[in-house]
Structure 1
Amino acid sequence: MTITIDPVATAGLVAREIRTAERDGAPTKVAVARRTYAADRADLWDALTSPERLPRWFLPVSGDLTMGGRYQLEGNAGGTVERCDAPESFAVTWEFGGSVSWLEVSLSDSDRGTVLELVHEASVPPELWDQYGPGATGVGWDLALMGLGLHVADPSAPLDPQASEAWSLSPDGVAFARLAATRWADAAIVDGDDPDAARAAAERTVAFYTTAPEA
């Protein structure tokens, strides 16, 4: 898949929100991302849940994708399917690096296609939030939502991980990450974060996503 997008316009397709919440007595941060896709709900649901289509825009998945089943994304998170109401919404645990968070995705019809709302709730260590803010996971979800948009536009095109990595380090990729991280910082500021600290954390997030890994 060749990535040819307007990074500013594409990053601007996502509406972002941060909420401070609580789960089982522990404080959490909730990141909400919404984007409208020019696709019907059944097709978008299939792209989100089909083991055959997920690798074309996200990651290969294994396991049981039915209610109560365990799934594993290659090289990334795994978890349990807690709820599945096709073709409207699903909820899963998101288990990675020894931590557990909670992900819910819902779809609704609109006059421009289908609105996808992604809600990711996590108990974030204060030092990690201070360092990166919501962009630590938020920019990753932005990249996934971009990949989904490219897939919906051309379902037959395979995902090329090398092309995706090269794009993330290109001027367009850096511009996309910077705008996405800035918008997540803006959302955190609305939720009550210190503006200067939030914007500094966003810059560290940009560096994280746009610095080539050491050989």
Structure 2
Amino acid sequence: MTVTESLPVVDAVRRALEIDEQVPADATAPDVPRRVRAVLTLTTNIACAPAQLWPLLTRPGELERWFGPVSGELIEGGRFEAPDGALGRILQVQEPHRISLTWDQGAGEDPLLIQLDPEDDGTTQLMLRHAVELEAEEFARTGPGVLALGWEIALLALAAHTDGWQATCLAPVPSPTPRWRHGAQGEQYLRAWSVRWAAEAIAAGVEEAAARQGEAETLRRHLPA
């Protein structure tokens, strides 16, 4: 994809949301909660080739410089630990284009896919797809933003580290340090992302009142106290 006009930094990522209701095996039992499967897709273009991005995603020393400390074996079949208590397994690796893994932050293993595709303009289209399954009541309360904002912050950090949005964004790309997140600009970005994910929820069929409730819960969880 060739970008022909400058974008605000908060819109350098393209977002998509799919929601499917999961019918329990014993759907007639009154105490069996309904579940939903939500697939969050974040796509952006980074101004370097897949082979240049690959080490930043697969080497612990490189990951620590922009994402945070990651320990373990980042090879096919390996297990790892990531920031905020996340655990995972590497399922499949196709260097330098595709990593399939699991992501577990205490609610079970979710499939996570990172794909790097070269573009004609020399950039890489990076797609991150995270699929989660959870109780419908919990999803209605939190919305997709609670899950998605961590990836928004990660992609912002990667873009700042690589200078990968320099040619496409209207303003300098900030590094989302803890100090930045506690500042006025950090709050502005978190609010903007929350609004955008609420809009994706509405587009995916969530009632507006529920989507706005999820937006508020996203901010409650992500804004520094």
- C-alpha distance in 2 between matches for 1:109 and 1:166: 34
Q: 1:77 and 1:115 mapped to 2: Cα distance?
A: 25
Q: Compared with structure 1, are the counterparts of its residues 209 and 49 closer, same or farther at alpha carbon in structure 2 (3 Å cutoff)? A: same
Q: Give the aligned residue type for 1:175.
A: Q
Look up the match of 2:156.
146
Alignment of 1:86-101 (within 5 A): 86-101=95-110
**Residue correspondence of structure 1 range 41-190 to structure 2 within 5 A:** 41-110=50-119, 111=121, 113-153=123-163, 164-190=177-203
- Structure 1 residue 56, shift from structure 2 partner: 0.8
Which structure would you say has the larger Rg?
A: 2
1:22 Cα deviation from its structure 2 partner: 7.3
SS at match of 1:105: strand
CA distance in 2, matches of 1:17, 1:112: 24
- The CA RMSD over aligned residues, in Å, is 2.2
- Matches of 2:23 and 2:88 in 1, distance apart? 19
TM, length-normalised to structure 2 = 0.81
Whole-angstrom CA distance in 1 between matches of 2:65 and 2:96: 20
CA contact (8 A) 2:114 2:129 kept: yes
Q: Once the two structures are aligned, what percentage of the paired residues are identical? A: 30
Query: C-alpha separation between the residues in 1 aligned to 2:42 and 2:84?
Result: 23
Residues 175-202 of structure 1: per-residue CA shift (max 9 Å, x gap): 1011111111111111110112102211
Q: How far off its partner does 1:209 sit? A: 1.0
Shift in Å, 1:83: 0.7
2: CA distance, partners of 1:90 / 1:23: 26
Residues 70 and 80 in structure 2, CA contact (< 8 A), matched pair in contact too: yes
- Residue of structure 1 equivalent to 2:19: 20
Counterpart-to-counterpart distance in 1, 2:58 and 2:71? 11
Q: Which runs of 5+ in 1 are unaligned?
A: 1-7, 155-160
**Structure 1, 61-70 or 163-172: larger mean CA deviation:** 163-172
Q: After the TM superposition, which of the residue ranges 97-106 and 31-40 deviates more from structure 2?
A: 97-106
Kept after mapping to 1: 8 A contact 2:36/2:135:
no
Distance across 1 between alignment mates of 2:22 and 2:143:
19
Aligned counterparts of 2:218 and 2:96: Cα–Cα separation in 1: 34
Going from structure 1 to structure 2, the CA distance change for 1:74 and 1:182 (only over 3 Å counts) comes to: closer
Counterpart amino acid of residue 90 in structure 2: V
Q: Is the 8 A contact 2:36 2:136 kept in 1?
A: no
- Displacement of 1:21 after TM fit? 4.0
Please state how far the C-alpha of 1:98 moved relative to its aligned partner.
4.2
How big is the shift at 1:54? 0.2
1:97-146 CA-to-partner distances (Å, cap 9, x unmatched) read: 14211100001112251110000001122232122200011111000000
37, 40, 43: which one pairs with 1:34? 43
Distance 2:89 2:189 in 1: 31
